């Protein structure tokens, strides 16, 4: 798998794996029902566990239509939400560089 393919298979904390390729090669427009029928049991990995593709699209109506793989990935990211974040309120940036609000350089 090339670097570009690896980046495409992971988006905002969600590991799509082989599903990414499948979605890219799928013929669009496609309904949720078609996508779930074809790929519903595929597993998506999240920092805190796993879910299926079907579970992530469950809020959408069966006749909801998607125009592209990118649109499907956005729907997945939207429904997974904070489950893909990992450790909430975590920053590796540290707090030592923070400027005070009263600092004149702000």
- What is the model's pLDDT at position 80? 82
Note whether residue 96 is domain-resident: no
Note whether residue 89 is domain-resident: no
Note whether residue 91 is domain-resident: no
Note whether residue 43 is domain-resident: yes
Provide the strand spans (E) within 6-53.
10-11, 14-15, 30-31, 43-46, 49-52
Note whether residue 24 is domain-resident: yes
Domain of residue 20, residue span? 3-82
The percent helix, strand, coil of the chain (3-state, each to 5) is: 40, 15, 45
Note whether residue 39 is domain-resident: yes
- What is the model's pLDDT at position 70? 93
Is residue 21 within 8 A of residue 5, CB to CB? The reply is: yes
Local confidence pLDDT in tens for the 106 residues of the chain = 454 444 445 555 789 999 999 999 999 999 999 999 999 999 999 888 899 999 999 999 999 999 999 999 999 988 886 544 444 444 445 555 555 555 555 5
- What is the model's pLDDT at position 11? 56
- The total domain count for the chain is 1
Angstrom distance (rounded) from CA 15 to CA 58: 18
């Amino acid at each position: 798998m090339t670097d570009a393919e690896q980046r495409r298979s992971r988006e905002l904390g969600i590991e799509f794996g082989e599903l990414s390729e499948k979605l890219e090669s799928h013929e669009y427009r496609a309904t949720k029902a078609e996508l779930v029928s074809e790929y519903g049991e595929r597993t998506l990995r999240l920092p805190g566990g796993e879910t299926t593709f079907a579970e992530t699209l469950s809020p959408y109506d069966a006749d909801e239509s998607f125009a592209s793989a990118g649109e499907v990935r956005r729907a997945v990211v939207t429904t997974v939400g904070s489950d893909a974040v990992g450790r909430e309120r975590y920053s590796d940036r540290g707090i030592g560089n923070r400027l005070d609000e009263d600092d004149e350089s702000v």
